[in-house]
Structure 1
Amino acid sequence: MKNFENIQFLTLANTLVSLLTAFVLGAIVGFERQFRQRTAGLRTNVLVAVGAAIFVDMAFRVGGSDGGARVISYVVSGVGFLGAGAIMREGGSIR
């Protein structure tokens, strides 16, 4: 029980709310993509959204707002890389 003495429950609640929000928004986008039978469906969008939220939350906790801003810029470039891979997979046609 000594491990739980230093936990700040407001910080934990803030993290859980941001992860839940990322999950829900990623699921909405993913469901729409899967419904239209496009690449990168429900599972991919949820994993990307929650993973990005985890990394941004960790960066804000460790490096402050400067670290968070850097991680957000890397997340944007990573999502662009995923989009380029999806376009190349479809043979250059964008749907």
Structure 2
Amino acid sequence: MPVSTNSEFETEGSIATRLDDVWVTIVWNDPVNLMSYVTHVFQTYFNLTLEDAEKRMREVHENGRSVLSSGPREKMEVDVQAMHSYGLWATLQRSGE
């Protein structure tokens, strides 16, 4: 697939992606962090209510992962780095993959 040099595209490996593609931040389950700590991080960083933070924490615990945010790639990279700084395992991917 040819890669456009147009500024609305960027190259990721050999795949051209639109800069306005929606990306998601995924937090994964780990055997290290307490559920109360994960809930606290979700409340603190993502500004979730206690109820919403606990719901997302349960998704991580029971399903192995939860999507915590979505938006442009650059913002999701910031969110992933923030989760790493809290000691949580997080990744980003293009929405719908």
Higher percent of residues as strand:
2
Q: Could you state the TM-score of these two structures normalised by the residue count of structure 2?
A: 0.29
Q: Which has the higher contact order (CA 8 A, sep 6+)?
A: 2
Structure with greater Cα Rg:
1
Q: Give TM-score scaled by structure 1 length.
A: 0.29
Q: Which has the higher helix share?
A: 1
